[in-house]
Amino acid sequence: MDGLGVALGRKPLIAPDLKAGRLVVPFDFTMSSEFAYYLVYPPEAIRRRKIKAFRDWLVTLAETAPAQATAKAA
């Protein structure tokens, strides 16, 4: 962001900075990743309202992120 070099980033995580102009894409090149994130919690924890709300929010975000990244790349 301060003109100090080049970094690799996942589009859903850097999209706000790209949109705001704080970051730029220096090359017309993208790569796919085989990595994944996992949300792990004890089964009984889902009965806690805050845990369920966080899980639901995170799942919604994850479901929409690939569509946003694809739409921006097109």
Taking the model in full, what pTM does it have? 0.47
For residue 2, being part of any structural domain is answered with no
When divided into structural domains, the chain yields a total of 1
Tens of pLDDT, residue by residue over 59-71, are: 888 887 655 444 4
Nearest to 12 by CA among 38, 41, 37: 37
How many whole angstroms from its chain centre is CA 7?
16
Q: Residue 74 has what pLDDT?
A: 45
Average pLDDT for 30-53? 89
Predicted confidence (pLDDT) per residue in 24-37, tens digit = 998 888 888 787 77
Structural domain harbouring 43: 11-73
| Segments of 1-74 assigned E as strands | none
30 domain residue, yes or no: yes
